Structure 1
């Protein structure tokens, strides 16, 4: 009986392999043969799914967002307000062993997006999705009396987004000052500012490998 091939699963596997190579080697020396070797397929097999390197990189970028959004959806289920916002930030911030590796790939794609309009659009759409979620959680926080009266929600959305992106960059460029304890302190400081009082205790950390 012929083997049934799940083509979607194979595409995802190849996209994940590309992400691993980017995390290890960066974009500079990335080749389709490296990705094929990482995935355990021949170069020809890869080409049947992704005829160009650009098509594979785009699929890899989309896959990163799908995975991140899946984790976020799981962590914020049943939560609202600042609790939901905190859990979402924990899935974006570069905690643990995997966080900086993921951040390195994301930052590489940010640079790539400046040269590829399709990747730019994917990034913009996902960024807007996250900002919409931040906005919703902050509105809920105001409704629940968690948010300090002086906080402007639109400004706060930009601040949350900027701090998440900033920690991703710092974890790659200055890893010695971006350990879990410092990221945790930064997150608690942000939440304290939103509440209008000093930062409190710490919660569960994000990805730890």
Structure 2
């Protein structure tokens, strides 16, 4: 998993509440077990019409938001089923940070395990960031995970809270496998001792 430290990028406004995981990645795309290739189907039913033509009015189809790295969204983002494909699709599209008033718990935790920083902020701060994101590609937000700050294109600085353990994992690029491998030396020592004490196992 890639390390997350600082991010400077274009933010896209998605002022929709209760965006569920089926909206993020519809069920017909859940057959794959690969984390790559799902970005093209992110928000599929909002991005394309029945003939697979792009819907021009959808934010991520607009030229100024095609390189979006930050998503500013509405309340209760990521609700619905617990599909991990949702953060996979977000990350594969190129988005590494989602900012919203609140998140569904499972989606929130899955973000950290897939290299995405989810930030929960009060609605009045979301409103400020939403207005900043509406400026398009001429405005870039800066996210500093170590300092736990968001800087708008106008220089306004907001602070956010994040669990210390999750922050450590994201800054060091540690998913569940990476966390286990941090203990590789201790595991090897234990297995060697176990093999000597119980050679018949």
- TM-score, structure 2 as length reference: 0.31
Q: 1 or 2, which has the higher helix percentage?
A: 1
- TM-score, structure 1 as length reference: 0.31
Higher relative contact order (CA 8 A, sep 6+): 2
